[in-house]
């Protein structure tokens, strides 16, 4: 055989060996990652859930604070008073149309921002899983992604709190429950992040009105609210 043939064959053998070594190394690294992930799954799930919850909390408060700062949420927009000839408040009514519109808009904003969060922002360095303070934040990062789940809700509710002699504080609270699916290498989990944010309040001077409509926009409370409304009206 010609010398060129043996030279070509040796070169092909070296290429094949290099590719085989690269494949074996890649398979080994992948196997180690899968093994480490399975062994450290509880810790990884806990860290990922904490990171996702903190991110969702930040998004919720930013969205609500922006709505308040922009004047989209105000006490006057959401409730109205009825007064008698002496100026005494006799009834407090909620603007349900405004409530439903605002809670829908705010929830849409929150869910849209959640879907825009990058996997890089949520990723967890492998060194953090070691528990060592020296390795925390170091090493390759494990990808973490989250997706909003359709069962998330935002509901307005009201609270009446005794604020002193002949005074009652009326607070309007936005309860937001966000469900997110957390996508990790090899498995997925779902977590609920709940926030109760006071969006507006006022102090009612005088006796509590004999008639008021509750601010809850949750269907499951309608029956109980109606009973309270009738009792208060009596």
Give me the half-sphere count of Cα atoms (radius 13 Å) on the Cβ side of residue 96.
8
Distance CA 178, CA 152 (A): 5
Query: pLDDT tens digits, residue range 165-217?
Result: 778 888 889 999 999 999 987 788 999 999 999 888 888 776 655 555 544 44
Query: pLDDT tens digits, residue range 86-126?
Result: 777 777 788 888 888 998 999 999 999 998 988 888 888 87
Among left, alpha and beta (phi > 0; psi -120 to 50; other), residue 108 is alpha
């Amino acid at each position: 055989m010609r010398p060129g043939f043996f030279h070509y064959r040796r070169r092909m053998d070296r290429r094949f060996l290099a590719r085989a070594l690269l494949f074996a190394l890649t398979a080994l690294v992948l196997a180690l990652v899968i093994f480490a992930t399975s062994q450290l799954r509880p810790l990884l799930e806990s860290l990922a859930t904490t990171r996702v919850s903190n991110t969702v909390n930040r998004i919720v408060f930013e969205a609500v604070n922006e709505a308040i700062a922009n004047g989209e949420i105000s006490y006057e927009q959401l409730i109205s008073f009825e007064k008698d000839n002496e100026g005494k408040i006799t009834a407090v009514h909620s603007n349900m149309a405004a409530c439903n519109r605002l809670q829908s808009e705010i929830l849409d904003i929150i869910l849209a921002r959640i879907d825009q969060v990058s996997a890089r922002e949520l990723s967890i360095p492998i060194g953090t899983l070691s528990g060592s303070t020296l390795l925390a934040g170091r090493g390759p990062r494990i990808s973490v992604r989250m997706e909003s789940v359709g069962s998330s809700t935002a509901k307005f509710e009201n609270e009446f709190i005794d604020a002193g002699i002949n005074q009652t504080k009326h607070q309007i609270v936005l309860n937001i429950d966000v469900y997110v699916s957390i996508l990790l290498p090899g498995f997925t989990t779902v977590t609920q992040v709940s926030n109760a944010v006071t969006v507006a309040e006022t102090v009612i001077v005088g006796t509590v009105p004999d008639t008021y409509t509750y601010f809850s926009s949750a269907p499951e409370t309608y029956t109980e609210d109606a009973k309270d409304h009738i009792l208060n009206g009596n």
